[in-house]
Structure 1
Amino acid sequence: MDIKVTIPEGTQAGDTLTVTVFADGKAPITITKNLDTAEDLNATDGLTIHIPASKESDQANSFQQRMVPISWWRVSDGTTTFESTPTSLVIDTTVPGDSNGDGVADDDGKPVVTIPEATQEMVTPLMPKSLQTVTVFKLM
């Protein structure tokens, strides 16, 4: 799972970023990152912090789909600390295709596509021998 964090002004190389995520009845997940690179310090659209799958699985299957507060992030150089105000996010850990909530994808509700066997020689007339334009639509 990835979380985007906005780095406060005044952050310098060598500062430490700490992100803590809490959920009801779960042990908090804390990720600490040293801000060493120019990429870390100049992330104008936010710094991406990755919570590894092993950390998520350590939390008894982690979080169900619901709002969970990110308690805070903290950036510290050892003498001064900036702390954010708490905020929240939705973590969706549902398994795609799981129709009964058991955490396993199953066939119930799965779309079924049937292509009938051809009964005629041609479905459409032959196209002329020239460049043809074909449009493919993406189904959402």
Structure 2
Amino acid sequence: MAGVRTAGQYQEQLIALLPSGPAWDLETVPQLETVLKGIAEELTRIDARACDLQNEMDPVTVSELVPEWERVMQLPDPCLGLSPLYDDRRLAVRRRLLAVGSQRAAYYIEIARSQGYPDASVTEHRA
């Protein structure tokens, strides 16, 4: 998770932001360091969740919000079967949003094969 600060980095920032004076001196008030450490750990947790949320906004990196993406994209598709695997559902979300379609038979065969139909084929009927 690039960009997430550690608790130590947050604690250093919080110490640097303390006002001057004896009430905020870490040597005379050692409990203050414990409080700042707890705050720093919570800020790190929040920072990590914010990074996770950024990843959830992109269907390529979505993990937790697959059901919400499915609702928006009218998935799961009946082609996935009655109980598709979570990874298959996530892949379907990506495909629905990012795939560039085609009218070629090979395109539809590849979709079927990727969803577990290895012997898929397309029969063209001529009028």
Q: TM-score, normalised by structure 1?
A: 0.19
Structure with more of its chain in strand, by fraction: 1
Q: Which has the higher contact order (CA 8 A, sep 6+)?
A: 1
Structure with more of its chain in helix, by fraction: 2
